[in-house]
A and B are shown apart, each in its own frame.
Chain A
Amino acid sequence: MTRTACTLLAAALLAGCAAPQAPKPWEKGNLSRPEMTMAGDALDQRFTQHIYQSKENGTGSSGVGGGGCGCN
């Protein structure tokens, strides 16, 4: 009896370790806000990109389309 209780308790506690669910496509409103970007503002990103491209002697292939809404 104690054993059953212990097992069930352990199972219940372990359930807390389950990974949180990733946000669904319709729940990404907060993620798509500008302040959620890892880099700086648009001007700062452009500046960084400009420096990077001039140092690496290459352009293009940076960034993807879409605004974090799961489309595109």
Chain B
Amino acid sequence: MRRLPLAGAVLALAALHAGPAAAVKEGDRAPEIAAKKDAATPLRLSAYKGQVVLLDFWASWCGPCKQSFPWMNALHAKYAAQGLRIVAVNVDPRREDGERFLAQRPAQFLVGWDPDGATPAAYEVKAMPSSVLIGADGRVLHVHAGFRDEDAAALEVRIAAALADRR
């Protein structure tokens, strides 16, 4: 009985040092996102059920994100008709920073705002930018960290394959 408080204290300390949630992997059910399209409209993955979603995490301060935007615009132009939805979640704490980024690199695809970082936390994002390809069944098909022009071709192959599976 005397050990009980000690055990409680150890448990309390252990809880404080608990590790981060496990990162989202291929085959996992994609967690719901907590972003907003604008002040009043929430942006949720459930709205795009049955479609292939490329979920991208970006920030105004992230260099490779600047490279990925023109590529995602091209993807949108090429595959939107086949059912690809690109959802780019901004993680800037101040939305003005993201708006400035968009003024220079307009996005044709959907942009969501998550200043609190709840969505990248749910996906346990490892790098900026990160993209998660989600199949029509709502399962994660591929997680990609960072963006380089060399990665683009391989990613596009995966996206095209996911769209072919959908049909």
Contact = CB atoms under 8 A, between A and B. Distances in A.
Query: Do A and B assemble together?
Result: yes
B69 to A, nearest CB: 15
A11 B125 contact: no
B73 interface: no
Nearest to B117: A26
Interface in B1-31: 2, 4-6, 8-9, 12-13, 16-17
Interface of B: 2, 4-6, 8-9, 12-13, 16-17, 57, 59-64, 91-93, 97, 117, 120-121, 125-130, 145-148
B97 A25 contact: no
Contacts of B5: 3-4, 7-8
Interface string A59-72: 00000001101111
30 contacts: A3-B2, A4-B4, A7-B8, A8-B5, A8-B9, A8-B12, A11-B12, A11-B13, A15-B13, A18-B17, A24-B121, A25-B120, A25-B125, A25-B128, A25-B130, A26-B59, A26-B91, A26-B117, A28-B128, A29-B61, A29-B97, A33-B61, A67-B62, A67-B63, A69-B62, A69-B64, A69-B127, A70-B128, A71-B127, A72-B146
Interface string A7-30: 110111011001000001111110
A14 B62 CA distance: 37
B62 A71 contact: yes
Interface residues of A, number: 24
Interface of A: 3-4, 7-8, 10-12, 14-15, 18, 24-29, 32-33, 66-67, 69-72
Contacts of A14: 13
A11 B14 CA distance: 11
A42 B117 CA distance: 31
Contacts of A26: 57, 59, 91, 117, 120, 125, 128
Contacts, number: 79
B61 A69 contact: yes
A5 to B, nearest CB: 9
A68 to B, nearest CB: 8
